[in-house]
Structure formats: C-alpha cells, structure tokens
Chain A
Amino acid sequence: MIAVEHLVKRYGTFTAVDDVSLEVEPGQIHGFLGPNGAGKTTTIRMIAGLLKPTAGRILVNGHDLALEPERAKASLGFIPDRPFIYEKLTAGEFLRFHAGLYGLDESLVAGRVTEMLDLFELGRWQHELVESFSHGMKQRLVMAAAFMHRPRAVLVDEPMVGLDPRGARLIKDVFRTMAGRGVAVLMSTHTLEVAQEMCDRISIILKGKIIAHGTVGELRALAGDPDQHLTEIFLRLTGGSGLQEIDEVL
C-alpha cells in the first residue's frame, strides 16, 4: 500500500508539489497523469526516497518513509523514468548487485536472476554488458531489478517509453499479474491509452495540485461526457488541446 498525505515540495518560492494526497490500495493499479512539469516525477521521487519533502507524510506498506526509510524502501520496487544502470556490468551482475542491495538470500539469488531475466526476455543477454543494450532492453532490465525482491508496492515513472509493442504488452501483463497478487502499483504515464486500459483509479495533477481523481468512469462523469475517451477528458481538465493555436502558427 502507498499512502501520501498532504505532500508539499518547494524549491525556493516555487511550489512543485502542493498538498498532494493519494492512496494506492493493495492489488490496485493507480495511474498518475499530468502534463509535462506538473509535478508527477517530483512526487514519485519523494515516494522513492530520492527527494526530501518540504511537508507531508509518505507511508509505504505501513512504514513511514521519514522514520523507517529502510523498511519502507525494502518493500518498494522503483522504476525511474531515466534509470541508472552500470554500463560496464553485465545484466546478470547488475541483478545480482541489486539483489544484494535489497538483502536477498545469496543462495536464492542465482535462480531468481535467471527467472527474472527469462520473464523479461533477457535470458540470452545475461552475460552481455549493459552498454550494448538498446533502450527498451535497459528498461526491461530495470523492471527485472525492481521486481527481484518481490515488492509489495511498485512505483513506476513512464514505464512504456522506448518499449516495442511486444515489450509494452509484456510489461502490461506483468503489472496486471503483480496487481492480481495484491501488489499496489502507482504508475505515472503520458500514454493515456495505457492508463485507460490498465488503471483501476487515476489521479490527474496540474501545477502541483491534484485536480481530479477517481475511476475512468468517475472522470468521464466529472468531464460531463460519459462516452468520451480519456485523452479528451485529460485535455479538457488540463487546459485544452491548443489545436487552434497550432493551426494559426502553421
């Protein structure tokens, strides 16, 4: 379970995240949408423990991130938008190192590494240096690392960027299976079709504030058109498409 209570992040006089509260229940996939610069990544990085909030509280599986950071992080899987991977390590070495960071029993690591590499279709690349991987392969490797320790909550920032249709399908299946097993997934994405297809609940953030949240149906009702596609709802809630201006400029 991921619970965020009145989260605030200020940079000097600029408020990047303004009193954000949300809750992701076990087994739920929660979409976190918003235009560029709305505060999605800042919120996610605070939940991951990479940024110190100015105010507010973050609970991961019942552990307060500020008071019990190690316990909170141990039960969380984090997939950042721009992941860091040691380029000169092989895929297998990277996963083994990751397993050690999360305190996995050494006798179980080798089997788990093979399992995860096979699941993410990287098995035959186990002994290849990460520097030779394509963007999509790196993305899948990071996901394999995030699921290595069987987290009970997962935090994903832009999961579909750079993935081919097969990779995207695989990731969707993995998330659905994880959620089916009671894992709470908080997913930030720009791909609204993915959000519509996968998410049980959605929160939309604009200029640091949550402006809408609920199921896709509830958001449709909020936008005043029960038949509309999520893209239209998103554009209406976040300030129009700008198509008129495009037409004028071009």
Chain B
Amino acid sequence: MTYPFPYLLRPSIWAARNRARRREAGDTTRGLFFGAIGATVFGAILYGAFWVTTQLADYAEFGDYLLRLGLSWLFLTFLSFLAFSAVVTALSTFFLSEDLRLLLAAPVAARRVFHARFLRTVAQSSWMVVVFIVPLLIGIGLGHCAPGGFYLVAPLAVLPFVVIPVAIGSAVTLLLVNIFPARRARDILMLMGLLFAGSLIVLLRMIQPEQLLRVESLPDVTDFFATLQSPITPLLPSFWAAESLFASLQGHVDWLHMAALWTSALGLTVLVAAANERWHFLGFSKAQEARKTRFTRLELLESVARRLPLSPVSRHLLIKDLKLFLRDVSQWSQLLLLLALVLVYLYNFRVLDLERIPYMSGMIKNVYAFVNLAMAGLVMSTVCARFVFPAVSAEGAAFWIIRTAPIALSRFLWSKFWMGLLPVFLLTEGLTVAANHFLGIDPFLRIVAAVTVLLMSLAMVGLATGLGARYPRFNADNPSQVAGSYGGVAFMIAAVLYTIVVIVLIGWPSSAVLWYRFSRVPMSIATRAQVVGSFTAAAAVSLGLCAYGMRSGVAALDEMGK
C-alpha cells in the first residue's frame, strides 16, 4: 500500500516526540530561558502593535491610511525575508539534506517527496515570520476593535502569503542547482546572503526614514509617503495580504485580493511540483558530486600567519582554524547577515539629522553612548555564542589529533581565545566608535566606550571559550546546535547579566564626570574615589570573568581524559 505524502514527515514527528520524552540536562533551564524571552517578545510586539494602532486611531482617516500603508510595508518586509529564507531552506531540504539518500533510494514517487519537502520548507522558512505576525495582528486587531471576521481572515491571508515566496524560492533553487555547477551549491548560500544584505541596505535607502523627522515641512511628508508607496505594487502578494487584512479590519471581505493570494499560491505550487518532477533528480544527482573546496590555496593567509609573532604550534592552530572557517560557507553567510544588520544600525545614525530633533540635542544624547554600548554587548554576546563558544566543539571527531599531539591543552585553548578575540573586538569596537561618531557623543564618553568594548571583548571571549571547553558537544551537526546547548544558553545568560553590570558600573561614574563638568562644580575627593572605584570595578569584573572562563575551560579539558 502507498501512504500519502505526510507519511514522509513521520520521522520528524517521531523524533520530536522522542526528544520531548528523553530530556537532557539543562532542558528545563533552556526551556524556561527561551520561554521567558519568547513570552516577553510576544507581549512586547502585541503591546507595541496595539499602542501604535490606538495612536493612529486618533487621526481618523489619515490614521487608517497610515495603518494600511504600514501593513503593506510590513508584509513587503516579510515577503523579502521569506523569499530569501525559502531559497536557503529549499536548497537544504530538496538537495542537501542527508535523509534524501534514504528517501530517493526507496520506491517513493517524486511528487510525494516534493509535497513532503515543500511542506517542510514552508514550515522551516516561515515559522519565524508567523511567530512575529501572530502577536502583531492580534495587537492591531485589539487596537482597532476589529470584528471577529478579522481573526478568521488573518490565517486565511497569511497561509497563502507564506506559500507563495516558498514556491518561488523552491523554483529558484531548482533552477540554480541545475544551472550552476552543483559542487558550488553551498556557495549559492553565500551569494544569497550578500544579495539579502545588499537589498536590505538598498531598501533603507529607498525609504529615507530621516525624512519623517522633517515634520515642519508638509511637502516633505507627502514626498515621504510617495516614496513609501512607490515599491508597493498591486502585483505583489504583500499588497494582497495587507489589503485583505485591512478590509477585514473594517468589517469587509476583500474577495479580489484573497482570490489573488489563493490562486497564486495554489497555481505556483502546482507549477513548482511539475518542474520538480521533471528536474529534481537531475539537480540532486549533481549535488551528490564531491564539493570542490573554495579558497584552496590561501597563500596570503599563510604568509601573513608566518609573519605573526607566534610559536609554530599556535601558528598552525591559527591557520587550521582560519582555513576551516573560510571554507565553510554556511559560517560566512550567517556572518554576512549579522554584518548587514550592523550596517543598517549604523546607517540609521548616519542619515539622522540630529540637530533637527530637539530632544536629541544637548547632554541627553550622550545617553545614547550607553545604548550603543548595550547594543555592542548584545552583538558581542551573539557573535561569541555563535562563533566563539562552539570553537572547541568544532574540533568534533578530530579532537583526538589535538589530545594526542604534544601540545598543552591550555595553549590550544588560548589559541582559540585569540582567534575569537580579534574579530569580535574589531567588529564591536568599529560598531561603537562609528555609532558614537555619527551621533556626536562627547569625546570623554567615546574614549570610555572604546575602552569598555575592549574589556567586554576580553571578558566575553574568555567566558565563551572557557564555557565552550567546559560544555563541548563534539557530535553536533553544526555550530548553531552547539550554541543552543545547555552551555550555550548558560553563556548567553551570563553574557547578558555581565553587560548589564558593566553598563551600570561604567554609566554611573561617566555621567557623574559629565555632570560635574557641565555644571562647573568641582568634584569632591570622595566622589572622585567612587568614580575611580567604579571604573576599576568594571575592569576587574571583566578581567576576572575572562580569567575565570579560561581557567575553567583549561581545567575541563585537562579533566576530559581522566
């Protein structure tokens, strides 16, 4: 007997059930931590959407106009995210996934495999958007006192809306894998990452959000909305979804746009299924070829490493780690996304005309130095969790080479530390210095922030390296899995707490110095001592955390064989 295609999803369902039954150490902590974060984010989005909607309601028709425009833009953003996410996910689910070798060797019709994989791609690439959309639409519905029909229309509009980009993404992937040399299939991820980062920046340039700040000039505001409207074409599914939802907010049903959503989703799915049946095996077959390594020679890297004042062992460890990193495109693409977000963050400060915003002038804008510091801390903890914490685990099954070689494990771990410190420090220092420069922060605070970032880098990289050695997962499939392990979660909690402590320890004396300087009151000796003490405490906490992390890591590595 032949089972329908959902049968092929059973392993994922059974595996999830087995995971839930067999709990690992740290599952409860991890569950509570991520649950609390999830609930907070859900609540914040819901409240934010509710608040904005109620504020807009005060402006009657103009408010409705803004809400309609906002929905279109929001869905356009989701559409671009989904399109990118679908290509990346489809590449994995349709061509690179390990279990395909099992499924394709079995007598399963190509169409059944397609349907199962397509459903998986839809779920994997859109869950994040859906999780974001749910509280957002509930907030808008509550804020607008929407009729019950809105809550019925919402899932009916969102479902085809997420299917359309996945169908297009799957078709693009099918095309790319069949056209490009398949051994470069993973490189396509990098290309997509670059395109996504580029399109994000271009999108921001097109919107020119700084124009909103020129509220004194009505024509500019009109221009701004004209700019907003230009890319919103009635041909895009984001427009159809937004229009359907807006109509249901008003108590109507927009049959035209709902029909456009559903017919496109179903039509595209049928077309992609047919194309897949015709070309999938050819693409999959190409993807089985041995993947040619990129950056095979890397002579520049070796010649630079030779000039560094390092011992031969440390140099070889450094070269090995760098080569592995550069040749793993999945690492690159994630870093590119992070860089794109950092660029967008900086870009916002670059284009803001701060002098025109009354509340941003004067001393208060110096507060933003600490917002930047918090942002740097967040970026740093994320980068450390994703790239530094898994450094020891990344040795994987090859760790025996290090353990059996005549190398002290402390030297191995310190090599991982320096390897992580340099990029983390340069990235966050660059982010902080540039953001503070664009904002015109006081020079004293700029220096304080720059030094603080150095201390934070030492602390976080030390802690991440050490905890990564204490809680390694040598059998993990990828670094993300290591970052999400018990040790990774413990590191994230510690890193966030540490950032708060450091900002408090740095923030109070910095603001005290500025206050005394601006009010031209001489600082008492006791206050001076407190200021120095607070700065010293921040440095001591940072260096102490670094030392603790590394000692703990080295001890854990030494214990490993006992």
Min CB gap A190→B, angstroms: 19
Residues A89 and B15 in contact, CB atoms below 8 Å apart? yes
Given contacts A48-B105, A84-B98, A100 and B3 within 8 Å (CB-CB): yes
Residues B106 and A88 in contact, CB atoms below 8 Å apart? no
> Which A-chain residue is minimally distant from B102 (CB atoms)?
A84
Residues B281 and A101 in contact, CB atoms below 8 Å apart? no
Residues of A contacting B284 with CB < 8 Å?
50
CB contacts under 8 Å to B, within A31-51, are 45, 48-51
Max count, chain B CB within 10 A of own CB: residue among A74, A80, A88: A88
Residues of B contacting A11 with CB < 8 Å?
289
Given contacts A50-B104, A129-B22, A105 and B1 within 8 Å (CB-CB): yes
CB contacts under 8 Å to B, within A98-118, are 98, 100-106
Residues B18 and A50 in contact, CB atoms below 8 Å apart? no
CA distance A97 to B18 in the complex (A): 15
Residues of A contacting B288 with CB < 8 Å?
45, 50-51
Whether, in the assembled complex, A93 has its beta carbon less than 8 Å from a beta carbon of chain B, the answer is yes
Given contacts A50-B101, A93-B14, A73 and B106 within 8 Å (CB-CB): yes
Residues A101 and B285 in contact, CB atoms below 8 Å apart? no
Residues of B contacting A78 with CB < 8 Å?
105
Residues of B contacting A84 with CB < 8 Å?
98-99, 101-102
CA distance A45 to B288 in the complex (A): 10
Contact of A74 among B102, B104, B107 (CB under 8 A): B107
Residues of A contacting B15 with CB < 8 Å?
86-89
Whether, in the assembled complex, A6 has its beta carbon less than 8 Å from a beta carbon of chain B, the answer is no
Residues A102 and B106 in contact, CB atoms below 8 Å apart? yes
CA distance A12 to B10 in the complex (A): 38
Contact of B14 among A45, A52, A89, A102 (CB under 8 A): A89
Whether, in the assembled complex, B520 has its beta carbon less than 8 Å from a beta carbon of chain A, the answer is no
Given contacts A51-B285, A86-B99, A100-B3, A71 and B14 within 8 Å (CB-CB): no
Residues of B contacting A72 with CB < 8 Å?
107
Whether, in the assembled complex, B230 has its beta carbon less than 8 Å from a beta carbon of chain A, the answer is no
Residues of B contacting A48 with CB < 8 Å?
105
Given contacts A50-B101, A50-B288, A52-B282, A103 and B107 within 8 Å (CB-CB): yes
Given contacts A45-B288, A51-B285, A51-B288, A101 and B106 within 8 Å (CB-CB): yes
Min CB gap A48→B, angstroms: 5
Give per-residue flags for A54-77: 1 if the beta carbon is below 8 A from chain B beta carbons, else 0: 000000000000000111111000
> Which B-chain residue is minimally distant from A14 (CB atoms)?
B289
Residues A52 and B281 in contact, CB atoms below 8 Å apart? yes
Residues A97 and B10 in contact, CB atoms below 8 Å apart? yes
Whether, in the assembled complex, A188 has its beta carbon less than 8 Å from a beta carbon of chain B, the answer is no
Residues of A contacting B103 with CB < 8 Å?
101
CA distance A104 to B107 in the complex (A): 11
Whether, in the assembled complex, B19 has its beta carbon less than 8 Å from a beta carbon of chain A, the answer is yes
Give per-residue flags for A183-198: 1 if the beta carbon is below 8 A from chain B beta carbons, else 0: 0000000000000000
Residues of B contacting A49 with CB < 8 Å?
104-105
CB contacts under 8 Å to A, within B146-193, are 181
CB contacts under 8 Å to A, within B269-325, are 281-282, 284-285, 288-289
Whether, in the assembled complex, A28 has its beta carbon less than 8 Å from a beta carbon of chain B, the answer is no
CA distance A45 to B287 in the complex (A): 13
Whether, in the assembled complex, B11 has its beta carbon less than 8 Å from a beta carbon of chain A, the answer is yes
Whether, in the assembled complex, A139 has its beta carbon less than 8 Å from a beta carbon of chain B, the answer is no
Whether, in the assembled complex, A90 has its beta carbon less than 8 Å from a beta carbon of chain B, the answer is yes
Contact of B10 among A51, A71, A100 (CB under 8 A): A100
> Which A-chain residue is minimally distant from B98 (CB atoms)?
A84
> Which B-chain residue is minimally distant from A11 (CB atoms)?
B289
Residues of A contacting B106 with CB < 8 Å?
73, 98, 101-102
> Which A-chain residue is minimally distant from B99 (CB atoms)?
A84
Min CB gap A118→B, angstroms: 22
CA distance A51 to B101 in the complex (A): 10
CB contacts under 8 Å to B, within A150-205, are none
Residues A103 and B2 in contact, CB atoms below 8 Å apart? yes
CA distance A119 to B297 in the complex (A): 51
Give per-residue flags for B385-427: 1 if the beta carbon is below 8 A from chain A beta carbons, else 0: 0000000000000000000000000000000000000000000
Residues of B contacting A86 with CB < 8 Å?
11, 14-15, 99
Residues B107 and A73 in contact, CB atoms below 8 Å apart? yes
> Which A-chain residue is minimally distant from B108 (CB atoms)?
A101
CA distance A202 to B312 in the complex (A): 50
Contact of A88 among B2, B7, B19, B107 (CB under 8 A): B19
Residues B101 and A89 in contact, CB atoms below 8 Å apart? no
Residues A129 and B18 in contact, CB atoms below 8 Å apart? yes
Residues A89 and B11 in contact, CB atoms below 8 Å apart? yes
Whether, in the assembled complex, B339 has its beta carbon less than 8 Å from a beta carbon of chain A, the answer is no
Give per-residue flags for B9-24: 1 if the beta carbon is below 8 A from chain A beta carbons, else 0: 0110011001100100
Give per-residue flags for B105-149: 1 if the beta carbon is below 8 A from chain A beta carbons, else 0: 111110000000000000000000000000000000000000000
> Which A-chain residue is minimally distant from B290 (CB atoms)?
A11
Contact of A103 among B1, B8, B98, B281 (CB under 8 A): B1
Residues B18 and A89 in contact, CB atoms below 8 Å apart? yes
CB contacts under 8 Å to A, within B519-540, are none
CA distance A86 to B98 in the complex (A): 9
> Which B-chain residue is minimally distant from A51 (CB atoms)?
B285
Residues B109 and A70 in contact, CB atoms below 8 Å apart? yes
Residues B107 and A102 in contact, CB atoms below 8 Å apart? yes
Residues of B contacting A74 with CB < 8 Å?
107
> Which B-chain residue is minimally distant from A104 (CB atoms)?
B1
Residues of A contacting B105 with CB < 8 Å?
48-50, 73, 78, 80
Residues of A contacting B181 with CB < 8 Å?
12
Residues of B contacting A51 with CB < 8 Å?
285, 288
CA distance A69 to B104 in the complex (A): 10
Residues of B contacting A73 with CB < 8 Å?
105-107
CA distance A73 to B105 in the complex (A): 7
CA distance A129 to B18 in the complex (A): 8
Residues B101 and A88 in contact, CB atoms below 8 Å apart? no
Residues of A contacting B98 with CB < 8 Å?
84
CA distance A51 to B290 in the complex (A): 12
CA distance A49 to B22 in the complex (A): 36
Q: A93-B14, A101-B107, A103-B107 are in contact. List 4 more A-B contacts (CB 8 A).
A: A49-B104, A80-B101, A100-B7, A103-B1
Query: Could you write out 27 A-B pairs with CB less than 8 Å apart?
Result: A11-B289, A50-B105, A50-B284, A52-B285, A70-B107, A70-B108, A70-B109, A73-B106, A74-B107, A78-B105, A84-B99, A84-B101, A86-B14, A89-B18, A97-B10, A97-B11, A100-B10, A101-B8, A101-B106, A101-B107, A101-B108, A102-B106, A103-B1, A103-B3, A103-B107, A106-B1, A129-B18
Please list the residues of chain A having a beta carbon within 8 angstroms of any beta carbon in chain B: 11-12, 45, 48-52, 69-74, 78, 80, 83-84, 86-90, 93, 97-98, 100-106, 129
